[in-house]
Amino acid sequence: MNSEYSGSGDPAKSLELLWRRRPLPTRGPKPALTVDGIVTAAVRVADAEGLAAMSMRRVADELGVGAMTLYRYFPGKGELLDVMLDTVYGELPRRVVPGDWRAALDEVARENRELYLRHPWLLQVAISRPPLGPNVMAKYEWELTAVEGIGLTDLEMDATVALVNGYVHGAVRTAVEARQVIQRSGMTDKEWWLAHVPHLDQIGDLEKFPVSARVGTAVGNEFDAPYDSEHAFEYGLERLLDGISALITNRSAPQG
């Protein structure tokens, strides 16, 4: 779930911005800024300080202008966010791995993961109706190509790509949250747990949860946070691709 929404205004205006088709006027003073310059500054702020810190005033400060100046270039914050999204999607290498759907989906998952790790604020942007910019569309095309021609229906292709994307989103969200909570609190997970145990002991209900106690201890002893998240990603991706593999094998040899 996310808390920042993209601009839901005029489609013509939004597409104009995303594809840089704004007709530039002949009269009046030359604009001091560019759409690209504002987006770059906004991405820089969001990367460094988080999406919550990326306010219109903060981005304007970054560029040395007043806050309301930005509204000469974007109808509102939502549209700025749309263009930010399409812009960083352009960073995806979109390498195509031909002839091996599993390797191709693996590549899709890993490139998306890298993108989320580079721009964690992406995890907070709701994209149920993506801004239809050039990079958003190229990304979807690239992802579908990974599962093209292997016996899936069109609907299954879409569902499979959505499943992998959803998995990566969730896995990275968990990892980034874990990383951020360590920073915010100044405590590792183990320190946090050890600060709670004495009080839980005093409440005295811990023996009601025997499996949690055993598994929790095993998890705590084995992992420190950074390795944990990488391990969880690999574990989940393998399970997921195994499950997709079962479907594809079934498709190749139906009623087998």
Partner DNA sequence: GGTCAACTGCGTACGCTGTACGAAGAGTAG
Partner DNA sequence: CTACTCTTCGTACAGCGTACGCAGTTGACC
Name which of DNA, a second copy, none residue 235 binds, using a CB cut-off of 5 to 8 Å depending on partner kind: a second copy
Question: Given the complex with a second copy, which of 29 and 205 has the nearer CB atom?
Answer: 205
Given the complex with DNA, which of 73 and 101 has the nearer CB atom? 73
155 makes contact with a second copy (CB under 8 A):
yes
The verdict on 25 binding DNA (CB under 7 A) reads yes
Residue type, 96: V
Mask of contacts with a second copy, 214-243, x by CB under 8 A? xxx-xx--x--------xx--xx-xxxxxx
The span of 50-58, 138-146, 158-166, 195-203 binding DNA (CB under 7 A) equals 50-58
Three-state secondary structure string covering the chain: CCCECCCCCCHHHHHHHHCCCCCCCCCCCCCCCCHHHHHHHHHHHHHHHCHHHCCHHHHHHHHCCCHHHHHHCCCCHHHHHHHHHHHHHCCCCCCCCCCCHHHHHHHHHHHHHHHHHHCHHHHHECCCCCCCCHHHHHHHHHHHHHCCCCCCCHHHHHHHHHHHHHHHHHHHHHHHHHHHHHHHHCCCHHHHHHHHHHHHHHHCCHHHCHHHHHHHHHHHHHCCHHHHHHHHHHHHHHHHHHHHHHHHHHHHCCCC
69 binds DNA (CB under 7 A): yes
Asked whether position 247 contacts a second copy by CB under 8 A, the answer is yes
What's the CA gap between 207 and 210, in Å, rounded?
6
- Out of 2, 68, 91, 245, the only residue in the binding site for DNA (CB under 7 A) is 68
Kindly tell me which of 31 and 220 has the beta carbon lying closer to DNA: 31
If one asks whether residue 77 binds DNA (CB under 7 A), the answer comes out as yes
Residue 57 near DNA by CB under 7 A: yes
- Closest distance of CB 17 from DNA, Å: 13
Q: Which of residues 129-148 bind a second copy (CB under 8 A)?
A: 129, 132, 134, 137-138, 140-141, 144-145, 148
Give, as ranges, the residues between 98 and 127 that touch a second copy (CB under 8 A): 120-121, 123-124, 126
Q: How far is the CB of 36 from a second copy (least distance, A)?
A: 18
Q: What Å distances lie between residue 76 and 5, 19, 87, 233, CA to CA?
A: 11, 17, 17, 36
Footprint of DNA (CB under 7 A): 25-33, 53-58, 65-69, 71-73, 76-78
